[in-house]
Amino acid sequence: MLTDTFLITGAGTGLGKGIAFALAKAGHKVIAGVETLSEVSAVTLEAEEQKLDLQVEKLDITDSVDRERASEWDIDVLLNNSGISEGGSLVDIPEERLRNQFEVNVFGTILLTQKVARNMIQKGRGKIIFMSSVSGLMADPLSGSYGGSKFALEGFAESLSKELQEFGVQVATINPGPYLTGFNDREFETWRTWQDDPSKRIFDYEQLAFPYEQFDPEKAVKAAVKVVTSEATSYRNVIPKAMAALIKKRQKDLWSRKTDDELGQRHDLVQKSMEIEPATSPIEGIVNKIKDKLTD
Asked if 154 and 136 touch (Cβ cutoff 8 Å), the reply is yes
User: Catalytic residue at 205?
Assistant: no
CB 73 within 8 A of CB 5: yes
Q: Which residue, 7, 107, 128, is CA-closest to 56?
A: 7
The residue from 146, 179, 205, 212 that is catalytic is: 146
- How far is the C-alpha of 32 from the C-alpha of 76, rounded, in Å? 14
Alpha-helix runs per DSSP H in the chain: 14-25, 37-49, 64-70, 95-102, 109-123, 144-164, 183-187, 217-228, 243-254, 268-275, 282-295
User: Which of these, 34, 33, 103, 8, lies nearest to 62 by C-alpha position?
Assistant: 103
For residue 103, what is the DSSP state?
Answer: I
Residues with a catalytic annotation lie at 146
